[in-house]
Each structure stands twice: as C-alpha cells, then as structure tokens.
Amino acid sequence: MALSMLQLPKWLDQQTLLVDHSFALCCIFIFFTLFIVWLANQYSTRKLIKNLPPSPPKLPIIGNLHQLGSLLHHHIHILSEKYGPFMLLHLGSVPTLVISSGDMAREIKVTHEIAFANRPRTIAMNMLLYGCTDIVFSPYGEHWARLRKISAMELLSNRMVQSFRYIREEETALLIQKITSSSSAKSPVNLTELLKTLSNDIICRCALGRKHGGEDGKTNRADLAGECVKMMSTLCVGDLFPRFGWIDKMTGMTGKIQKLSKDVDTYFDQIIDEHIIQKNNDDPHYNKDFIDVLLQIQKGDINFTRENIKALILDMFIGGTDTTYTTIEWTIAELVQNPNVMRKAQEEVRKVVGTKMKVEEDDIQKMEYLKLVVKESTRLHPAAGFNVVESAKATNVNGFQVPAKTPVFINYWSIQRNSKSWERPEEFIPERFSNNAVDSVGQDFNFAPFGVGRRICPGKSFALSVVESTIANLIYWFDWKTVGGEKLDMSEAFESTICLKMPVHLVAVPHFC
C-alpha cells in the first residue's frame, strides 16, 4: 500500500499531456533552472557525501527515471542484478536506496531498524492523511506508538477481527449468489469486479457501518476513499524536485488534491456525526464498527483528535481494499492455471466442510493445504511488492553511507523470487511450505508479504481472514474454467498494487446441482 506512490510512468504521462506550444517558453525556463539546481546538487553531494552505494549511470535532472518502466518492480529487479542488492537510484533529484536481497533487508530492518523506522511522504499523502498523522506514514515516535497500540489492541485485535465474522459471511454469501446467477445464465463471471466489490463492501461495513452503496442501495460518498488510494499513486513534481513544487499549482495538481481532501474530510465528518447521534455504543446487541471504537477511545483521551480518527479510517481503506482483492484474484488465477493444485485444494475444502453445505470460518483452521496455497500466492505475487521506509539520519550500512531522508525501497517481489533462496522460484508450488517453518509474521526476510519489523502491516490477520474465507467458498461451491478453454493472461500491471493486467473472466460451474 504504501508503495503505490511508485507509479513513475503514470506521473510522466500526466505531466507530458500538460505541455503544449503555449507552454514551451515556460518549459525551457524550468528545464534550464532544473539543470542549474542539478549541477549545484551534484557539487554538494560529491563534496559532502562519500562512499555512496553503487548506482547506474544517470542523466542530468531526471536521474534514472528513464531506466524505469510501467512495471517498476521488474525494472528495479533488472538493474539490481547488474548493480547489486544494495543500489542507489536517483528519481529526479531524490536519491533512493533499493534493497533486493533478504540479507540486505535484515540489515535495514534489524541492524539499523530505528534509523529506518520512518516512511517517506508524498505531497498527496501529506494532504490527504491530515499531515500524515495516520499509522502508516506518521514518523516513528510517541504518536506512532500510540496509534500502533490502538490498532493492535482495539481495531485489529483477534477479538475485533472475529467480531466482524458475520460481515465476512454475509458479504461472501452475496458474492456466491451473484456468481450462481451468472452461472445459471451460462455467462462468464468478471471475477475481478466481483472481488473489488466484495473487498470494498467488507471494509466499508467494518469501518463505517455501511456498504459502499449504502444499506438502502442509494449511492453515498464512500467511494471517495477509493479515489484517495488512486490519488496516492500519483507523484507530483514537488516529490521528485522539491524546490519546484510550485509547478504543481500551475498544473492544477495541488488544487485537485485539495478538493479531494476537502470532500473526504466532509464525508468522514458526516459519518462520525451520525455515529455520535445514534449512540449505539449503549446497546449491548449493537456490533461496533471502527468509528464506534475510535469514538470510545476519544472519550478517554483528549489528545486523540477527530483528525486522528479520520486518518486511521482512511488507513483501513488504503491497506485493506486493493491488496485484499488482488491477493484473492492472483490465487484463483494460479489455481486455474494449475489444475492439480486446484483439485487438491478443492478436495480438502469439501472434505472438511462435509455435508454442512456451508463453509464456516472455524473450518478454515483445519484447511492446511489451503493455507499453503495462500502463502505461495503471496510469495509469488505480493500485493504491495515494495516495503518502503526512510532514513531518519545519515547511516553507514554495509560499509556504504546512506544520507538522511533517503527513501528505501525493499523489493520483496524480487526477494521472494530469488533463486538462491527458493527452488524453482517462478513456479506455483504450495508444497514448498509444507515442511518449511517460514511464515509471514515478519521474522524471515526472504518471505515478508506483509512487511517486517515495527512497520509490519497491522491488518495482517484481518486481511487473511477475508482472503482465506473467500477462496475457500469460491473453490467449495464452484469448479472454475477459462472462457473457451484459453489460458489466462497472467501479465502484471502496477497500479495501487501489483495486479493482473487484464480482468479475470472465468466460467463458474456449480459443484452442487
């Protein structure tokens, strides 16, 4: 999630479209000014900092941007194979460290964890997340520790995750009904869209107490959170060239972010006010959502502001929507591509469920092979791809000097496909985890789809409960085939997550007729 800010090609395309003939003179002036600034930066960097990590040759002003493409994780992986697992890229005027091995990830996340406990902020994130007062991007310190405690003990505890079980079951049942209707009409299922809706609806109900489209079926503004996720995937000029943030005002980017920020703020205020008026916390039969919990915390903590509540709620959408649906999507796609694995997983699920004709979450704890399938899916297709942190101070790492305020991209897409750590790393083999103690709890640096260390994803249990439950239901109720017997297009796209480039359309054949 934090990693959607890496959409450099999208940024370049957006800026290119803004240039026309009437803007040419201004562009020449900007280019000339940037060139002067670049020369000054080159001089000061060489003078003040020695023994920097290895780096590919860079161009004036744009640095290494020309060597990156739409699949950023691929291009960085290719560069790291040549320049090593500890590599410095220059994204515009911003030096950026890239880590591409588990050993180097351990150096950053263990040996120097406090020095790299912060996250870099983009202009969009800072404006949309109330000055980055949320848990994902707030600086390491007392405020972050307090939010982390609230998330771990109140919002995303095992008790709270279990309290939302009825929501997962209801939304999953609706998903199965939709697929059944399509299969009855002998129509292919657009699984991608259905999973997006499922993920959004679950998060909306858990966080806001209402679905994406409102309980009455009418449209509301919950989709604004999704717009925020998309906006955070766009870099501004000021992110790559901090001295020229004024260009974002000229292009209208700043105004666009400000408007979205105001709309989101107004919507969240409306939802919070509704919760305060309803006062459902006094009803013992009322199922609390995230806002109810946070309002209860606020009563006992005057330093916990409404802005903190809104920032945390927005975090739930950033970390729990696209990452969840893409993980389910990749897993089903891999199962379809590997029929023997699909058959084995289905046999286990149907054996555990037996004659109950309903997949219960308690059953999933007995589905050992299903859990191996999910592990292998997150190894081969980590939703975020990158774990991003930032150096709080100048730090010597592995004999190299890393300047203060340097963003660090830990490329887990690359690490989890490293042939030195994984046998046949490009193949989908769930059995590789059957006699392997490796788990995604942040202790193994060759397998960390949820991150590691202090900044590990606090919503891991919540996400896995949705992922495992949904997959178990999909393969329990249906047999899946590709449209016309053709192979799925497994090409990747890099948007807010690493997702499938093309929507997944499949034929669902009901198993119980």
Give the C-alpha separation, 256 to 226, whole Å: 15
Crossing angle of the two packed helices 368-380 and 460-477, in degrees rounded to 10: 110
Burial class (CB in 10 A: 0-12, 13-18, 19+), 356: exposed
480: which strand partners?
A: 508
457 annotated to bind ligand: yes
What is the pairing mode between strands 407-411 and 94-99?
Answer: parallel
Q: Is 475 helix (H, G, I), strand (E, B) or coil?
A: helix
Under a CB-based contact definition with an 8 Å cutoff, are residues 203 and 320 in contact? yes
DSSP 508: E
Give the C-alpha separation, 5 to 496, whole Å: 8
DSSP 21: G
Instruction: Copy the structure tokens of residue 114.
Output: 């406090």
Q: How many CB atoms lie within 10 A of CB 225?
A: 24
- CA-closest candidate to residue 12, choices 57, 59, 69: 69
Torsion angles phi and psi, residue 479, rounded to 5: -100, 140
408: which strand partners?
A: 97, 389
Enumerate the known binding-site residues for heme.
457
Enumerate the known binding-site residues.
457
